[in-house]
Amino acid sequence: MFSKATSTDKVSGAIEKSTALDTSACGGGIFTVTCYDKDGAVKWETTAKNLVTNVGLQDMNTKYFTGSSYTAAWYVGLVDNAGFTAYAAADTLASHAGWNENVGYSGGNRGTASFGSATAADPSVISNSASQASFSMSTTAVIRGAFLTNTQDNTLNTGILFSVADFDAPGSRSVVSGDTLNVRYDFSLADA
């Protein structure tokens, strides 16, 4: 009696090549705040990564892709620690329930953020490092963070709230009358 067994192995494969580009862009900013005492000595320095608000994202897309009523005027404001609970993507300049603006500085205007030219590299970075927003503090306060808006007058809550930021650990920082705060803002866009 003879038995025969037959077996067969079959191997198959496929290579698939994607022909579509799969890239995206991501952006974000960093506030760098330096506090100088009345004699010009550095008291403290901190950084704060920003949250770009929903209206900030919408404004950026609208201005860039449709060219709708663009102005290059930007201003920095300070966030007070008193009553702070949180930032939210839905915050606007007119409505930000989790925080209050600190206006304990000379003059009635937010600090001007004059941006230089953007770099051509990936990421492309734009900054106001050559002309930082400056605040001459006139009261004792605790500052929690900073924000970027297109409205100069600190008594107005109209305009675009582009971004807000909370200081890195240990968090809030104290200032006294006579201190000066210089605020640098770097915003970068990268091919993610």
pLDDT per residue as tens digits for the range 170-187: 889 999 999 999 999 999
Whether residue 12 has pLDDT greater than 80 = no
Span 109-152, pLDDT tens digits? 999 999 999 999 889 999 999 999 999 999 999 999 999 999 99
Tokens 């209050």 belong to 100
131/137 Cα distance (integer angstroms)? 18
Strands 180-191 vs 124-127: parallel, antiparallel or unpaired: antiparallel
Span 17-38, pLDDT tens digits? 555 555 677 888 999 999 999 9
- Give the pLDDT score at 63: 86
Nearest to 30 by CA among 99, 110, 127: 127
Query: E strands along the chain, which residues?
Result: 25-36, 42-52, 75-80, 100-102, 111-112, 124-127, 133-136, 141-149, 161-166, 173-175, 180-191
Question: What are φ and ψ of residue 112, in 5° steps?
Answer: -70, 135
Nearest to 109 by CA among 147, 81, 132, 75: 75
Whether residue 2 has pLDDT greater than 60 = no
* pTM, rounded to two decimals: 0.85
- Give the pLDDT score at 43: 97
- Give the pLDDT score at 18: 55
Q: Can you give the residue ranges of every domain in the chain?
A: 25-191
Contact present, 55 and 134 (Cβ < 8 Å) = no
Mean pLDDT within 3-9: 48
Burial of 161 (0-12, 13-18, 19+ CB in 10 A): buried
Span 53-111, pLDDT tens digits? 999 999 988 888 887 677 779 999 999 999 999 999 999 999 999 999 999 999 889 99
- Give the pLDDT score at 133: 97
